[in-house]
Amino acid sequence: MYFFIILLLSLLLNKPFIGEAGKIQTVSSMGNDGRGQETSLVHSLQGTWNVTNDDHSINVFCDVPGGIYSDLMKAGIIGNIYKNYNDIETRWIAKENWNYFTNFFVSGEMLARKAIFLLFNGIDTFATITLNGKEIGYTKNMFRRYRYSVKDLLQIGINNISVYIHSPIEIANKEFEVETNRRGGVPVQPLCTPAKYNGECHVNHIRKQQASFSWDWGPAFPSSGIWKMPILETYDVVMMRDIEVHMDRLYEMKRWDVKLIVHLESIPKNMISGSLVSNLFHYKNKTRFIVNETNIDNYEMPKSGRIAITQHLIVPDNFVELWWPNGYGLQPMYDLTVSFNSSEHVSKSIKVGFRTIKLIENPLVNYEGLTFYFKINDIPIFMKGSNWIPSNILPEATLSEDGEKRIRRLLMDAKIANMNMLRVWGGGLYESDYFYSVADELGILIWQDFMFACSMYPASDSFLKNVEKEIEQQIIRLQYHPSIAIWAGNNENEIALRNNWYSTASNFSLFKEDYVKLYADVIKTKVEQLDGMRPFVVSSPGNGRMSESEGYIAQNPGSVLYGDVHVYNYYSNAWSPSSYPNLRFSSEYGLQSLPNYQTLAEATDNPSGDLQRNSAFMKHRQHFILNYLVMDLQIFFQFPTEKIEFKDYIYRSQIIQAVAMKVETEKYRQLRNTLYNDSTGLTMGALYWQLNDVWQAPSWSSIDFAGRWKMLHYYAKNFFAPILISGNLNDGLLTVFISSDVPTLLEASMTIIIHKYQLFKDINTITKNVSIIPQKSLIYYQNALKPLLGKTDLSETIIILKLAWDDGSDQHSMDNYVLTGNFKKVTNEPHTTCTVIKKQGPDFQLLLRTNSFAPFVWLQTNITTGIFSDNGFMMTSTEKYIYFYGNNPDISNEDFQASIRVSSLRNTTQLI
């Protein structure tokens, strides 16, 4: 009845009904993101709240968890933020303060509990929290969890809560002024993003997703909101917060020592008695096979209200099946359940995997530098992958049901492309529990940056204490995941300081002192204290151990002889291997391209006017400070100078990007076992920039914002293949490598074909039986090319490489090509057709036919989503079979046939 009275009053007062009073939800699966805790003592405050601005000109229903941009779109106050110029036209939202408020019901039974805490798993970012008219706290870090004791403030029946979120833009400006004064007038650099980004200033002063103020691949949407689930915890004894899992493999004893640190929380001076029981279940039959019990008798909770209890599980080797990265084996995950049993029962279940990881930085005998590679389960592994930016620019969207579908799809796309590592970049988010669980499941290792990128940062006591709590919470939350391989202190801040990117040279000592305080004294210390299972590097790029020995700011943080390197070479020929260095590990490298035309069309209400090469819209969407200069230059290097349509410009930009990344990645894989006299080489990692997008715009991604694969992602599937045949042409010498990531010797047949494309004819073929050495990259053919050409000019040819082998269970093959020049002489216009010859569920088999050389054949369909088995390929023969793997079994052969578009370099009229 009370519920309906409030509803009636809200209608009479012409105000929206406030929240869902009396509908507080008991949560049966609550954990670090509001999930995973089995207890009837946890109650969700998620649901429909209200949000209003200061002058109450906007007062609408909203979703919690959620965020202001999502709320206003849903309410119809603003349109789709990803369309048109809405990143600019909605900027007023971030300059306002927003009050989120609701009512909730508390029963007498709940209020009778000894401990009642209000827990916010994530507020973005600066919020004053008021409960029943009493201010209880202030948040200032979107990456932290905040917990408040509220028993004395609650009442039986209706209670009200307000979360007043201050403008992040205004707070950033104020923090900048305060910090500049504290530093005697020396501001923390950089002051703002480049004007080209259409962004906001001083994001480095606040602990918020750095990219929310804009980046060179993304828009500024400075979000505000309760982005993770808020909950009310009511109990008498304890609440279980986190479980740390530290695994030590005892080789001589043939067992694992699994140390658990279980974090319990309660009210100070509460007397705790009960039993803590840990159960490890076999991953196949789910039967319990390891158990440990610790009794606690009349333990008085300390002032902090937090205790950590250590238990050990001794696991024999014969109970363990190892967790492996993608491509090296399976990913068995064991269920671990920890329960605290007393007058109440509280438990938490997580999944763990058994694996060891080491970062090997060893000196080289008679050479300069250190190695830099990972050993997983004692096996050296070449890391193949990309860089992950947030899956959505709005943090709350990453946690929604659709957001989780997007995350799974992107991680699956990475797995399909034979990736075994993604780098979670330091300007975004610590990702959700769901993200890391899917990475565990798929065998995708995570290089985890802490959230500091491309800036200097303050080092005031308050800032450092804020960061220390953030780092502690995030490490404890995440460290049990086998997918997390390494922690990194920041993205590009060491090299930025050393090379004066932000005009810091005149105050170098001050900025270095700040740097060491933040990344060494706070973050490095905290990592070593909380997670001894994994390596830590202070910065990426950086010289690893060498940077530390040089006081954390190396003389040359981009040295190819140490650590990891970021490689961007925009002005050289991107299709030439000589444009790229011989290094130990490349954790970033890339080149821009445009997204698919369909994706761009979804971003504008005026496609005919906006989707033009020099339109205001396309200039607005391009945040790279070099604008389209690099694309234009690289297209000029490779293709004839001619007037082309915008769709063809998109297509060529994707060709440029795909081939450039192919050439660079193949070089890195070729260098796995090569050490040159100048100490360069021994490359053991290639993570290109970047996997995904946050809006429809030019970027370095291989998958656009709509989830459509660019040509690069199809190429990545090939250049990251477990067995790769690749070649180089240098000073007339043809060198063919085979790179193997598999653990067994394979017998194979290798074929090298010299194809004269103007005649559509193979003019020379070399076939050779080879033994592919496991986990090596070696030369299998080397010879002068000129004798193979006869009288044919090199510029009229392309070299096709083929490899076929049997791994004992199946036949395998792969094709590749070596470019002998650019494509300015390709003048033929092939007639290429595609015929659907077989349908099986949502999948189709296609037959392509061509009457002449068809370079970069590109297949598209606009009636379903899915991927082709190959795309962007060279057709040097008359026929080729391709498969399309779709997700809609209701599409007929006829409809799919009609939707297919086939394009190649000299025949692009069919581009969608």
**What positions carry a catalytic annotation?**
492, 588
Output phi, psi for 740, to 5 deg: -120, 130
Alpha carbon separation from 534 to 245, 422, 427, 467, 580 (Å, rounded): 12, 16, 21, 20, 30
Alpha helices in 356-432 (DSSP H): 401-416
* Residues 732, 716 contacting (CB under 8 angstroms): no
Instruction: In whole angstroms, give the CA distance from residue 691 to residue 410.
Output: 8
CA nearest to 880, candidates 847, 832, 834, 831: 847
Structure tokens that stand for 422 in this block: 């993604």
Show the tokens assigned to 19.
């929240």
Tell how strand 854-860 and strand 484-488 pair up.
unpaired
Q: How many CB atoms lie within 10 A of CB 267?
A: 16
- CA-CA distance, 703 to 638, in Å (whole number)? 23
> Alpha-carbon distance 667 to 655, whole Å?
18
Cis omega before residue 125 (within 30°)? yes
> Which amino acid, one-letter code, is at 863?
I
Pairing of strands 797-806, 746-756: antiparallel
Is the Cβ–Cβ distance between 710 and 777 less than 8 Å? no
What distance in Å separates the CA atoms of residue 721 and residue 826, rounded to the nearest whole number? Answer: 29
Contacts of 802 (CB under 8 A, 6+ apart): 725, 750, 751, 752, 753, 813, 814, 815, 816
Q: Three-class SS of residue 564?
A: strand
Q: Is 866 helix (H, G, I), strand (E, B) or coil?
A: strand
Which phi and psi (to 5°) does residue 827 adopt?
Answer: -115, -15
d(CA 354, CA 250): 13
Interatomic CA distance for residues 895 and 910, integer angstroms: 17
- Asked whether the beta carbons of 387 and 447 are under 8 A apart, the reply is no
Check the CA dihedral 457-497-591-85 and report its sign: positive
